[in-house]
Every structure is written in C-alpha cells, then in structure tokens.
Amino acid sequence: MNPLQPGKLTLVSLRNRRGVERQLELAEEGAARVRAEYSAALSRDAREAGLADELEELRHPITTVPVEAPTVRVRALKPFRIFVRNRYDEQEEYSAATFAVVDVPKSCLRKLGDRVEQVPPSTELLPLALTSNDHQLLAHER
C-alpha cells in the first residue's frame, strides 16, 4: 500500500508509480553527473591555483581523537562525587561509595584529597554506587 496513492493497486496506478520511480532514477543520474562535473572543475581550479594539496585535505580530513587523560586506581575511604571535564570538553561525573575501587583521572587526586587512597593498578575494580545516605552526606558537605 502506498500512502501517496491509497486504494487497490491497478494497472494504471502501477504505471503511474513506475513513472515516478523512473523520474527519481533520472534525477539521481543527473545529480551524479552534475556532482562529477563540479568535482572535476573544483579539482582543476585548485590545481591551477596551486591548492591541490589543500583541497585533498579538505576532502579527506585527518581526524584526531583527543588523548584520554591518564587515570589512577583509587579506593574510596569516604563517599565522593566530583565533576571533571573529559577529553571532549564535556562534564563527566566520577562517584563512588566507601570501600569502592575505581579509576579516576589523575588530575582529580588533589581535589579528592583524603577521601581516597591510591592503590596498585592490579587491584580489582569494585564499583559501588552511592547510596541515598551518601547523597545526603555529600549534599551537606557543600
């Protein structure tokens, strides 16, 4: 069933719909031809202007992924919740309940202070979510 032509499919509606399909095919072929012509002209103009390398860089940019901040494994001595900017400049939350073993960005250690102790990287992770009591405690710390 076609929402553009409701009702039972007949030979006439089939021919009409095939006509529309053919028009779309021709438009697609025309667009591909125009794109190829435009691309060739742009390449030619860039080459003549001595900007061929720059055009290639624009067509195929080298994407770089920002380096992830180094992390440190810590054991939470007190519940904590901190917000840190990540490598994409987005705010990320790090939180853990008491006795949890988690990885946090190394840059956070000073901010966390005596709430955590650093443990060897081989220590098994033990992610423990904050409880409602922890949330209340953290709310009163502010």
Summarize pLDDT for 67-81 with one digit per residue, the tens: 888 999 999 999 999
Q: What is the pTM of this model?
A: 0.53
pLDDT band of residue 7 (cuts 50, 70, 90) is: confident
Pairing relationship of beta strands 71-76 and 91-96 according to DSSP bridges: unpaired
Q: How far apart are CA 83 and CA 3, in angstroms?
A: 50
Instruction: Look at residue 45 and tell me whether its pLDDT is greater than 80.
Output: yes
CB 121 within 8 A of CB 75: no
Q: Which helix or strand (DSSP H or E) is residue 109 part of?
A: helix 109-112
- What b/e string do you get for 48-85 counting C-beta neighbours within 10 Å, with b at 16 or more? eeeeeeebeeeeeeeeeeeeeeeebbbbbebbbeeeee
Summarize pLDDT for 60-112 with one digit per residue, the tens: 988 888 888 899 999 999 999 999 998 888 999 999 999 999 999 999 999 99
Domain ranges of the chain: 11-59, 71-141
For residue 7, how many C-alpha atoms fall within 13 Å in the half-sphere facing its CB? 6
Summarize pLDDT for 110-122 with one digit per residue, the tens: 999 999 999 999 9
Percent of the chain at pLDDT above 90? 63
Q: How far apart are CA 59 and CA 49, in angstroms?
A: 17
Could you tell me the two tokens for 25? 């095919």
CB 81 within 8 A of CB 130: yes
